[in-house]
A and B are shown apart, each in its own frame.
Chain A
Amino acid sequence: EDKVVQSPLSLVVHEGDTVTLNCSYEVTNFRSLLWYKQEKKAPTFLFMLTSSGIEKKSGRLSSILDKKELFSILNITATQTGDSAVYLCADGGSNYKLTFGKGTLLTVNP
């Protein structure tokens, strides 16, 4: 069975810290790995990764995929309180179906 595992489950940091969130996957027929941010309500799309070693970047957020070791990381630099959210990783498998990990709850304190 395909599996997506995120770590840590929760993390508390201070504003200005840099954080790294981890996602490992065990899937057949890998196509893509995705990151989403979920604040109080709906998840919002952050990144889709398909190739190893190519960093995707958006402002203070960046992500990279290692297809050999089957993991991805999401980095957030100079964290702000608005970064507080649950970060979800998902395997973008075949037939349109996403398999989500359980998420990492990030709390950024002022």
Chain B
Amino acid sequence: DVKVTQSSRYLVKRTGEKVFLECVQDMDHENMFWYRQDPGLGLRLIYFSYDVKMKEKGDIPEGYSVSREKKERFSLILESASTNQTSMYLCASSFFDRSGEQYFGPGTRLTVT
């Protein structure tokens, strides 16, 4: 069974802290994605990666960075968390040639106070 896991379900951090969100997939997928989901705004792509060490900006990359050192792991980094980064963060993965068929993790609800 396809599985995407995220390191935390709930996280509370203070403004200015560095935050790491980790995502691991066990399907040998080439593509991995980070989204955030906010009421009224829907799902928005932050960053994606189509190969180890490769990354591409999505629609809202400002304030975020990513790291993909291994195929199965994709990390989202908030260098200095701000309150407007309070959100639900969803990781997803897919095969290279079936990028529309994405498998999502359970999400991390991040609150920045």
Contact = CB atoms under 8 A, between A and B. Distances in A.
Nearest to B6: A42
A44 B1 CA distance: 13
Interface in B34-55: 40-45, 48, 50
Given A95-B56, A96-B31, A96-B99, A43 B104 contact: yes
Contacts of B90: 42-43
A65 interface: no
A100 interface: yes
Given A96-B48, A97-B48, A43 B100 contact: no
Nearest to B58: A97
Nearest to A95: B56
A70 interface: no
Contacts of A45: 101-103
A32 interface: yes
B106 interface: yes
A98 B14 CA distance: 31
Nearest to B101: A45
Contact of A100 (B42, B48, B103, B106): B42
Interface residues of A, number: 21
A48 interface: yes
B43 A32 contact: no
B56 to A, nearest CB: 7
Contacts of B45: 97-99
Contacts of B106: 41-42
Interface of A: 31-32, 34, 41-45, 48, 88, 90, 92, 95-103
10 contacts: A42-B105, A42-B107, A43-B104, A48-B98, A88-B42, A96-B56, A98-B43, A98-B100, A100-B42, A100-B43
Given A92-B99, A100-B43, A100-B44, 7 more contacts: A41-B107, A42-B4, A88-B42, A88-B43, A96-B33, A96-B56, A103-B42
